[in-house]
Amino acid sequence: MRVGLLTREYPPDVYGGAGVHVEFLARELARLVDLDVHCWGEGREEGVVRHRPWPVLDGANDALRTFSVDLAMAAALADRHLVHSHTWYAALGGHLAKLLHGIPHVVTAHSLEPLRPWKAEQLGGGYALSSWAERTAVEAADAVIAVSGAMREDILACYPALTPDRVHVVHNGIDTTLYRPDPATDVLDRLGLDRSRPYVLFVGRITRQKGVPHLLRAVRDIDPAAQVVLCAGAPDTPGIDREFRELFGELSRRRAGVHWIPGMLPRPEVVQLLTHAAAFVCPSVYEPLGIVNLEAMACATPVVASRVGGIPEVVEDGETGVLVPLDDDFEAGLARALDGLLGDPATARRMGEAGRERAVREFGWDAVARRTVRLYEEILGRA
């Protein structure tokens, strides 16, 4: 079975959960099928073809530049039996390949454009184009993979032209051999953290979706003994960047021990930070699943997260962490949950251990890949 996997992000250019998903899914799929990965970037290596936006579109709206990559991807898929795209950035390429080469198209929806209206800040009129591309590809796909049950409900609500039998749930996974507790502390020392004080940790992009402003306000008055560590970069827009910097400056003036790490750290360094955190916090306002919560759990760290989207399918409230309703009391609720874990290290340790066990037991990438290949086989069997 020859499969083309289409994605914007692929190592070494991974900046979000979709990129992490594709990295590990591709690794496992390559053991089961003849796989070519088509992604953004420079150069070519075995099994990976990298495409660049057309130079004539330099300076054009990012959606148009994305479509130029989609055209190049579609042209390169003539020898594939099936194409599998990830996110709107690649979905149009998969749809065009379906039409051009007469092959089935599977879409994995990591998020949905209709549920991210703030993307208009980033893309301007390109948001209408990204929304059109996603709708066109999803509605015509032979199958749509949702990364959580909640995401499946969102897909069917946003795209009622889809019949429910075309939407399949395959959860994100986690490599628990890479994400596992790291007892070393050299990264903490290099970053200037005080190992005598606990810290709460955020890892993610500076976007409306990730709810970072909510977090910066929530931690103003948590236990003053606690440090706050923000691995936060890649702001979507100048506006959200300015808002983050203003709130960060205000927080830094208000309490000691606030650390901002603006760059993308290598995975081993993130693992060490996750391992030693008193709590990992995920304040997302929209989250189809949230791989980063699995990463924290695999490092035996309790999670404080918003009760949105697919997060409750990963984080068991009261068992592997604490879920906070996204309501008018959200920021105060985050603060209470964090203070609760900071003040009860035994419970935090128990939740962290339970999270590690759950990650190992239920979210292995090998199982994700096998479920995905079974779906491929079902679709090709109908062709």
Average pLDDT value for residue range 59-72: 96
Same-domain pairing of 133 and 281? no
Same-domain pairing of 93 and 211? no
Q: Is residue 23 assigned to a domain?
A: yes
Same-domain pairing of 368 and 263? no
| pLDDT bracket for residue 115 (50, 70, 90) | confident
Q: What is the pLDDT of residue 197?
A: 97
Average pLDDT value for residue range 147-161: 94
pLDDT of residue 224 exceeding 90, the answer is yes
Q: What is the pLDDT of residue 120?
A: 80
More confident residue, 221 or 298: 298
pLDDT of residue 118 exceeding 80, the answer is no
* Listed residue (195, 257, 249) closest to 227, CA to CA: 257
Q: What is the pLDDT of residue 320?
A: 98
Same-domain pairing of 370 and 346? no
Same-domain pairing of 314 and 355? yes
Share of the chain above pLDDT 70, in %: 100
Q: Is residue 178 assigned to a domain?
A: no
More confident residue, 239 or 270: 270
Q: What is the pLDDT of residue 328?
A: 94
pLDDT, tens digit (0-9, with 9 covering 90-100), for 206-217? 988 899 999 999
Q: Is residue 221 assigned to a domain?
A: yes
- DSSP 8-state class, residue 13: B
Same-domain pairing of 68 and 193? no
Q: Is residue 307 assigned to a domain?
A: yes
pLDDT of residue 316 exceeding 90, the answer is yes
DSSP secondary structure, 75-128, as one string: HT-TT-SEEEEESHHHHHHHHHHHHHH---EEEEESS-GGG-TTHHHHHTTHHH
Q: What is the pLDDT of residue 42?
A: 87
| pLDDT bracket for residue 116 (50, 70, 90) | confident
| Maximal C-alpha separation, the chain | 63
Q: What is the pLDDT of residue 233?
A: 87
| pLDDT bracket for residue 262 (50, 70, 90) | very high
For residues 9 and 18, the answer to whether their CB atoms sit within 8 Å is yes
| pLDDT bracket for residue 223 (50, 70, 90) | very high
| pLDDT bracket for residue 245 (50, 70, 90) | very high
pTM of the model: 0.81
Same-domain pairing of 143 and 165? yes
- DSSP 8-state class, residue 317: B
Average pLDDT value for residue range 37-43: 92
Q: What is the pLDDT of residue 164?
A: 96
Collapsed DSSP state (helix, strand, coil) of residue 4: strand
Q: Is residue 43 assigned to a domain?
A: yes
pLDDT of residue 121 exceeding 80, the answer is no
- Give the chain's domain count: 2
CB under 8 Å to 280, separation ≥6 — which residues?
A: 200, 201, 202, 203, 274, 292, 293, 296, 301, 302, 303, 304
Q: What is the pLDDT of residue 8?
A: 96
Copy the structure tokens of residue 217.
């306000």
Same-domain pairing of 190 and 155? no
Q: What is the CATH number of the domain that holds 151?
A: 3.40.50.2000
| pLDDT bracket for residue 321 (50, 70, 90) | very high
pLDDT of residue 146 exceeding 80, the answer is yes
Domain of 305? 186-362
Average pLDDT value for residue range 22-31: 96
Q: What is the pLDDT of residue 235?
A: 85
Q: How far is CA 340 from CA 96, 122, 148, 279, 335, in A?
A: 51, 36, 28, 10, 8
Q: Supply the mean pLDDT for the chain.
A: 94
More confident residue, 77 or 361: 77
Same-domain pairing of 264 and 378? no
Same-domain pairing of 156 and 228? no
Average pLDDT value for residue range 172-180: 93
Q: Is residue 179 assigned to a domain?
A: no
pLDDT of residue 382 exceeding 90, the answer is no
Same-domain pairing of 165 and 191? no
| pLDDT bracket for residue 44 (50, 70, 90) | confident
Q: Is residue 180 assigned to a domain?
A: no
Q: Is residue 356 assigned to a domain?
A: yes
For residues 8 and 23, the answer to whether their CB atoms sit within 8 Å is no
Same-domain pairing of 300 and 373? no
Q: How far is CA 174 from CA 51, 205, 258, 328, 365, in A?
A: 27, 19, 29, 33, 6
